[in-house]
Structure 1
């Protein structure tokens, strides 16, 4: 037997760019994981930095801009959680610098078609991992649904329906999330999660998008610098896939009294599987409910329901049903060189392109064709 001392791996030193609502969710979740620590933060907004330091116990080096942090801080990896329209420029700053740090970047990757091509070009010469934070993949009930779907028990998936009925957009610094010019539009900002899930669940690529949506209820009484918010607050989106399957998104952002915020249904030749994800207790205190999956075979008939519990401490660390925690566990393995990136830059860009097509379809009342084959 070896008598050599077993040493623990060194803690991963993260730099966090963006300390707003989502940045602080990353802080809480990294804090739950052994071998990870946030040692530096960058944000031009002093109150956000102060709120982050409260969570960190005042231990992080603090910067007003990410360029100075990148130049001065001793880091092993980066987390980017800034407003949507800043992601592309920050990523390109990082990728064009001399350091090759693994990056976990929040969705959506960008907000304009030009940024899609800029990011693709910059990433060709960047040889460190880039992971796009599509948290919804990592909700435990969503993982259970994926296991059932990809395990073959459904036969060939033919129909996918994703419903998210939830609360309106949260208040953010300078209300940047009230306008399509900064968010990319609701079907980019919010729905890129669901377009990513569609590709992941069906293991196929979209060819056509039809969307109908409007700004009917939320933020109608708000005005900033004389402009009323223009983001959609409800939509239906139908997506046709190359293999013949089709998917539906049913999104409503004025349904905050709903107990289950997400409901996903996949119907195959031989069975149907559904998952039900409750709204976070942080948004509705009376919403305590357990997530579950339900498998409904055609023969023998009779649904089988299975609860999917999540540790309450993990649920309380964020508003995405534990997914940020589980995503960070996997990203930590990537940083240590023990695993491959699961949500690539191209995955993130394709979800954005689907969202852009849906926004255009809703605005112009036309179907929009998609073709990723030449990209």
Structure 2
């Protein structure tokens, strides 16, 4: 690669340590500085000094930055990086409020910089393969997209609830897979773990294309599940983003002889196919997309505008959960 980008990393916690590893392995990028006021708990700095804050990181002289600190600190860091002319990838969600996210979007647009958000699920090999097959028309018309993202509570999360931390993944990947924005959402939440933020959310909604969506997300399950099901004209795709597997359940083509079943005019069970395809690490693919966007190359990077749109949908779901009353039947 012709250019070598000087990269800085803010935050080397649970996610930041992985960013450090990938940045060191990425062609065309050199990790030159790390900042974290909490030090280096995972020992990823190597020969680099751990700087105290974002200002010290900027002073080193960097072309690109990755922000992997708690959500409430995203805006301050991003605005300083934009002012310094640094292309920036912030972890999801983009910000703690819609207003903060909008200020970030505006700052990077005004400076003509690449501002990106780390919605990593878009780069999962199962979803990338699913998107390619949908674009090729293998499912025909899409009717419904449902996701399940369940598992135990991660103690590292303290400043947001399950909607912003996890449901934001599902909202972003659903709009991207369907290539259509949300027009309506309705949600219910629960608070079972004694925290200020919700630990379970059930969302239903509709996209501009007419596709119905459902998301079940929680931190209350002992089993970990990361599943996206896309149902359409020719069958259903099932993407397991925990394993990177993609399976297609085709509608049946064999006529049914059994009279009591044949009067049903719906679909029948057909062939089931699990696809084989390259499975690259999502974080590496995400970083390649960000690097390419900075270099002006074709890229599938998740823009700050897209990250903000996802936050708007998440907030609308939370507003719905807060405002709805019990339905009498």
Query: TM range, normalised to the smaller chain?
Result: 0.7 to 0.9
For residues 1-375 of structure 1, the aligned pairs below 5 Å read 9-46=2-39, 49=40, 51=42, 54-57=43-46, 59-70=47-58, 72-95=59-82, 97=83, 99-171=84-156, 177-178=157-158, 182-183=159-160, 185-216=161-192, 218=193, 220=194, 229-258=195-224, 261-278=225-242, 290-300=243-253, 301-307=270-276, 310=279, 322-340=281-299, 342-365=301-324
Tell me the distance in 2 between the aligned counterparts of 1:336 and 1:118.
24
User: How many Å apart are 1:153 and its aligned residue?
Assistant: 1.1
TM-score (norm 1): 0.77
Q: Say which SS state the counterpart of residue 73 (structure 2) adopts.
A: helix
User: How many Å apart are 1:159 and its aligned residue?
Assistant: 0.2
Q: Say which SS state the counterpart of residue 271 (structure 2) adopts.
A: coil
Tell me the distance in 1 between the aligned counterparts of 2:109 and 2:198.
34
User: How many Å apart are 1:45 and its aligned residue?
Assistant: 1.3
TM-score (norm 2): 0.87
User: How many Å apart are 1:308 and its aligned residue?
Assistant: 5.0
Tell me the distance in 2 between the aligned counterparts of 1:110 and 1:291.
28
Tell me the distance in 1 between the aligned counterparts of 2:313 and 2:306.
11
On the 8 A contact 1:291/1:309 being kept in 2, the answer is no
Q: Say which SS state the counterpart of residue 110 (structure 1) adopts.
A: coil
On the 8 A contact 2:152/2:221 being kept in 1, the answer is yes
On the 8 A contact 1:84/1:189 being kept in 2, the answer is no
Tell me the distance in 1 between the aligned counterparts of 2:279 and 2:181.
31
Change over 3 Å in CA distance of 1:336–1:359 after alignment to 2: same
Q: Say which SS state the counterpart of residue 209 (structure 2) adopts.
A: coil
Tell me the distance in 1 between the aligned counterparts of 2:30 and 2:167.
30
Tell me the distance in 1 between the aligned counterparts of 2:98 and 2:49.
35
On the 8 A contact 1:148/1:273 being kept in 2, the answer is no
On the 8 A contact 1:209/1:240 being kept in 2, the answer is yes
Q: Say which SS state the counterpart of residue 79 (structure 2) adopts.
A: helix
RMSD: 2.2
Tell me the distance in 2 between the aligned counterparts of 1:122 and 1:151.
37
Unaligned runs of 5+ in 1: 1-7, 172-176, 221-228, 279-289, 312-321, 367-375
Q: Alignment length, in residue pairs?
A: 310
On the 8 A contact 1:149/1:273 being kept in 2, the answer is no
User: How many Å apart are 1:31 and its aligned residue?
Assistant: 2.8
On the 8 A contact 1:291/1:308 being kept in 2, the answer is no
| Greater per-residue strand proportion | 2
Change over 3 Å in CA distance of 1:61–1:341 after alignment to 2: farther
On the 8 A contact 2:236/2:248 being kept in 1, the answer is yes
